Amino acid sequence: MAPPPLPLIVLLIVHRVYSADDEWSVNYSSSSICAVKGSTVIINCTYKYPTEHQITKMFWTRRLIGEGIEPSDLSKDSEYSERIQYLGDKHHVCTMRLTDVRQTDSHEYYFRFITYNLDGKWIGKPGVTLNITLITDLQLESSGERVIEGHSVTLTCKSRCSLTDRSTFIWFKNTQSLSERTDRNNQLILQSVRREDTGNYSCAVQGNNLTSPHRFLNIMCKIFFK
C-alpha cells in the first residue's frame, strides 16, 4: 500500500508596499528665513527613519554637487565651523543654530543623515533658503507726510524680506533711544501727536548695529488747517 500523501503546506508571503516618505523624511518649520547680518539664526528641523535603522552620522550642508557624490559637512567647513551648532539628536530633532550670519551665508541649506544600513541615507530636499538683510535694506515708512497735532501717525520699520519672529525692534528720535517703545512689533504708533514730537525718527533691530536711515516727522499746528 502506498504511503499517505504528505500534507501540502502553503507559505503565503505578504509584501507590504509603502512609500519611502512614510518612513524617511526631513521636515523644516519654514522653507525660507530672513535674518539681519550679524544676528543668530535657528533653523528648526525634525526627521524620521525606520526603527530598525541606527544613525551613524548626521549633518547640515549647503552644497548638493550631484548624484552619487556625498555632500560636505558644514561643521568641517572653515567658513562655518566656528559658527554652526547642531542642536538635535540621533532620534528625531535636527535643529541647527548659525551665529554671526554674513551676506555670504545666503544659500539653501539641507539636513543629511546616514544609518548603518547600506541604503540608509536621506537628505531633506528641498531645503531651507536663508536670506541675509543688510543695513541698506532697513527702511522707515510713515503713514503720512504731514501730520496735524492731535492726530496719530504710524511709523513702520521694513526690510526686503520678513524678519524672524525673534527680531525685536527699537526706535530712535533725534538719535536718542525711545526705550519705552522697544518691542517685537515693527510699527511705532504715536497717538495724539504734539509739536514736540517733531524730529528725525529711525528704527533698528535689537542686538545688531543696524539702523535705518532717519525719516523727518513734521507735526503741523492745528491753527494752519482751520
* Strand 96-98 relative to strand 41-43, pairing: antiparallel
| pLDDT tens digit sequence for 176-202 | 988 777 666 788 888 888 889 999 999
Strand partners, 156: 141, 187
Range among 41-45, 131-135, 190-194, 205-209 with highest mean pLDDT value: 41-45
pLDDT at 162 (0 to 100)? 61
- Per-residue model confidence as pLDDT tens digits over 13-59: 333 333 355 689 999 998 998 887 888 899 999 999 998 899 999 99
Which triple of cell numbers denotes residue 113? Answer: 543623515
pTM assigned to the model:
0.62
Question: Would you say 108 and 128 are in contact if contact means Cβ atoms under 8 Å apart?
Answer: yes
- pLDDT at residue 108 is higher than 50: yes
C-alpha pair distances (Å), 167 with each of 28, 39, 109, 160: 20, 9, 21, 14
Residue 11 has pLDDT above 60, yes or no: no
| Top mean-pLDDT range of 90-94, 147-151, 165-169, 222-226 | 90-94
**Average pLDDT in the 77-91 region?**
94
Instruction: Give all strands (DSSP E) within the chain, no chain letters.
Output: 25-28, 32-36, 41-43, 45-48, 55-61, 84-86, 96-98, 108-115, 121-123, 128-133, 139-142, 147-148, 153-158, 169-173, 176-177, 187-190, 199-205, 215-217, 219-220
**Residue of higher predicted confidence among 113 and 158:** 113
Ordered by where they begin, the domains of the chain are: 21-133 (2.60.40.10), 135-225 (2.60.40.10)
